[in-house]
Structure 1
Amino acid sequence: MIRTATPADIPLIHTLIRELAAYEKAPNEAKATEAQLQEALFGDHPAAYAHIAADDTTGTPVGFALWFLNFSTWRGVHGIHLEDLYVRPAARGAGHGKALLTELARICTERGYERLEWSVLNWNTPAIAFYESLGARPQDEWTVYRLTDGPLTELAGQSS
């Protein structure tokens, strides 16, 4: 069962983000607060969206997808960038991850978006195999770059 997240899901989403960060071997990098998530997902100008995966029998939440819109200048339309996809280990293999991606693909096609994109850590071979089984292909001709913390502040200070 996949459903759109509600404000009542903020504590759950926060917990799942922290679980994902631990799984990705970066628990100290997950610094978002519940207040920040509340604003980003349900504030006056939402910047992101989330869906919850729940066990079909018990209704217990077992995972989530958090995403936002991007835009392709080449295609001239929006797409979805999947920021986080996480299913708790005990619930993996039951179709929750596929159901979350299926819902995002449905949103794309319904709204005329032409891309659903995400990043995956190179060492996460189970996730890579799962994504490739769905027909997703790596975009290995592109490398992701990121500015954060000191380098971001330093570059911002160089503006004229």
Structure 2
Amino acid sequence: MKSRLLFAVIFLFFVSVVNAQQPAALPLFTFYKLDGKPVSNINLKAGKKNLFILFDCTCEHCQRETKLLNTNYAAFKDVNIYMITLDEAYIIPKFFDSYAKGLNAKPNVTVLQDKKQIFIPTFLPSMYPAMYLYSPQGKLLAYNAGDGGIKKMLKTIKK
């Protein structure tokens, strides 16, 4: 009997997580630059759209989408891009060198680590890579999980 109750509770938890909606307003957050300095909502550059991308260095979808972002960088030059990962700092530069050389050095691109693992429970992504485009006022303009995110963000930015 206890095992059925436990199963029911676990099942309901997963159903609620799957049905959860992405935050319509930019949530409060603190992530960390590779040098350990914190970046939070108060550090966002004002007056521009903000693109948050959750990626994993070993994820093939993330590799393809990051390469596509780099190829289409000119369209994103007026957007603040925050690329967030749970990966260790040593692997991140190798990821960019392999899939999007120079993207991490662009003036509007900030690479961040999610050292406290808050991105997933705060932003509620359904898969990697997860992309969230917010207006300068912090309103969600577009969300995408998995392949096709950069194309979707391009269409939204051009509106």
TM-score normalised by structure 1 residue count = 0.31
TM-score normalised by structure 2 residue count = 0.31
The higher-RCO structure (CA 8 Å, 6+ apart) is: 2
